[in-house]
Amino acid sequence: MQPEIQTQQPVFTGNTDVAVQQNKVLRNTYMLLAVSLIPTIVGAALGTTVFNIAGLMRGVGPIIASIAVLAIFYGWVYMIEKNKDTSLGLYLLLGFTFFMGLLLGPLLQKTMGLRNGGELVMVAAGGTAGVFFILSGIASNVKRDFSFLNKFIVVGVIVAMLAVVANIFLQMPALSMALCGVFIILSSAIILWQINSIVKGGETNYISATLTLYISVYNIFTSLLQLLGIVGGDRD
């Protein structure tokens, strides 16, 4: 069943109504986040076995391909946020998760080329799930307000994206490893902040919340997988 989309700020009559609304947004967010993994898995399977994404990116050039991916990524995010109060936003989000699944193709192909590639994927997936559940439990049950993370997140995202753009041209392995660590820390902070914001009533749109959490989970998984492939990959 498709969750109900909030089209306007509800009017509450008391603390009970506020709590009900917050729980509803959190429940819809978790449900949509789980559903969003389906097109991601389908996209990843197609990107790994059917579409030669890595070959396509090499064909147009790594720099041009990376810039194009960033442009599509941010353009798609903008369209989802613009339509977050409509059913179109929901379909855009699911399409976005399919696209992100396709982009997993090259990384999964590279990892599965290792003798212990399947094990590394499972460890990265399990580690990502563990991090998410622990952080979501903390954010949902601890009384502390994590809104203080907002400034850290904003600055961190700006610095990280500047580093990503720089590394498109520099192609430095050491910087790539450092960025993986930064994205894991930054994405973890975003999960804490976003879920806590829902619980505290600061976020009332589950599509926007799901988008934020999805990107954070995606970044943690891909960063863990890259690090595991570097430090634990069995290359014969």
pLDDT in tens, 157-167: 999 999 998 98
The answer to whether 156 and 189 are in contact (CB under 8 A) is yes
Name the pTM for this structure: 0.88
Query: How many whole angstroms separate alpha carbon 186 and alpha carbon 157?
Result: 8
In the numeric block, the tokens 């203080």 are attached to 148
φ/ψ (deg, to 5) at 144: -65, 140
- How much is the pLDDT for 131? 96
Q: How confident is the model at residue 4 (pLDDT cuts 50, 70, 90)?
A: very low
pLDDT at 27 over 60: yes
171: left (phi over 0), alpha (psi -120 to 50) or beta: left
- Is 4 contained in some domain? no
Query: Number of structural domains, the chain?
Result: 1
pLDDT at 173 over 50: yes
Give the domain range for residue 131. 15-232
- Is 10 contained in some domain? no
- Is 180 contained in some domain? yes
- Is 132 contained in some domain? yes
- Is 46 contained in some domain? yes
Query: How many whole angstroms separate alpha carbon 100 and alpha carbon 40?
Result: 6
pLDDT > 90 in the chain, percent: 62
Q: How confident is the model at residue 147 (pLDDT cuts 50, 70, 90)?
A: confident
83 by Cβ neighbours in 10 Å (0-12 / 13-18 / 19+) ranks as middle
Averaged pLDDT, 79-99 = 96
- Is 45 contained in some domain? yes
- Is 55 contained in some domain? yes
- Is 5 contained in some domain? no
